[in-house]
Amino acid sequence: MQQIPAPFWTLMIGVIVTLVSLWFGQNNHFLPEQASEQAPLVDDFFNVMVTIGTALFIVVQGAIIYSLIRFRRRPGDDTDGLPIEGNLPLEAFWTAIPAVIVVGLGLYSVVVFQDMGGFSPGGHHDHGMMMAHAPQTVITDVGEPMLAQAEGDRANVQVYGFGGSPETEANTPDLTVNVTGMQYAWIFTYPGTGIVDGELHVPIGQDVQLRLEAKDVIHSFWVPQFRLKQDALPGQPAELRFVATREGTYPVVCAELCGAYHGGMRTQVIVHSLEDYSAWVASRVAEMPDNSEAIAQTLSPSTDADYLAQIAQDVPLETAQIAQLSQTLRP
């Protein structure tokens, strides 16, 4: 029986390892569901690393198992092993391959970072070239104050962190939300509406810009399903920009050790349909007290006696005492 040549075995093993690694790299299911436009960029990079890691794992572990079997000590064999001093081509080979892999992954990560806006922070937009990003028609009357965020506020964003991607950095966002991190909660403020909430509500398919800042110590805003994480530093605003692609409720986690109750600093982001988001904004605005009547009352003239009579409703004063105070206040 003719022996199969070693190069053929090497080729077959290489093909099998490649196919197994490619399959597992695309079907590992290690990450949670994707819920933003930025998530596929991170997942594709992660799948490439899993593919390469799987191939290396199979090759290294396979070589160890093969060596344990092929070069094991035979019964009755007390001789010394072969005096192997080294193999320069082999050492150069196993050094060059990891070097190429590391450089390649590094370049790929830079491309992903740029596509997610890592080198295009919001504070460096040329405001003279800003062009309005066409919003969806559903978010109209209740959403317009959010879309009209002042450009001067955006100019304060620092140069680090994620800004808009190269495709969106010249466009104003559909929605801007100010995010404040403090021990141990996240506070979300919607400019132009007066809405302040402990949960982040955003519409699906809209360009959302978060302006993050911490009040006390360093926090880190992380939404695993969005594949986005950004540090919030005291006194130094940062930016995070995304587009949600799946309706649902997703956890918001502080990923920076910020104190004794760091593990409890959690909230959630709720992605609504456009109609539901408009309804949510309208309901929150409707819940706010209308101060216009109170302001009109403060402008109307009133006598000292009327003013004291209002106080008497809360303070136990007799009629004689009120009359005496009125006489004292008269010029």
The answer to whether residue 135 scores a pLDDT higher than 60 is no
pLDDT, tens only, 284-293: 888 877 644 4
The answer to whether residue 328 scores a pLDDT higher than 90 is no
- More confident site: 160 or 257: 257
* Distance between CA atoms of residues 78 and 265, nearest Å: 64
Which domains does the chain possess?
A: 8-68+96-115 (no CATH), 122-287 (2.60.40.420)
What is the helix, strand, coil percentage profile of the chain, to 5?
45, 20, 35
Task: Give the pLDDT of residue 221.
Answer: 95
Longest Cα–Cα distance of the chain, Å, equals 127
| Averaged pLDDT, 97-107 | 94
Beta strands in the chain (DSSP E): 175-182, 185-190, 195-197, 200-203, 207-214, 219-223, 228-232, 238-243, 248-254, 266-272
Return the closest-CA partner of residue 226 out of 199, 209, 245. 245
Confidence of residue 2 (pLDDT cuts 50, 70, 90): low
| Averaged pLDDT, 196-201 | 93
Do you find a cis peptide bond into 184, omega within 30 degrees of 0? yes
Q: Please tell me the least confidently modeled range out of 35-39, 121-125, 188-192.
A: 121-125
Which SS3 state, helix, strand or coil, does residue 213 take?
strand
The answer to whether residue 45 scores a pLDDT higher than 60 is yes
CA dihedral sign, ordered 21, 23, 25, 29:
negative
Counting Cβ atoms within 10 Å, is residue 318 exposed (0-12), middle (13-18) or buried (19+)? exposed
Task: Give the pLDDT of residue 168.
Answer: 57
The answer to whether residue 71 scores a pLDDT higher than 60 is yes
Which SS3 state, helix, strand or coil, does residue 58 take?
helix
Task: Give the pLDDT of residue 312.
Answer: 54
Query: Which whole-number Å values give the CA distances from 217 to 2, 152, 185, in the listed order?
Result: 72, 26, 12
Predicted TM-score of the model (pTM):
0.69
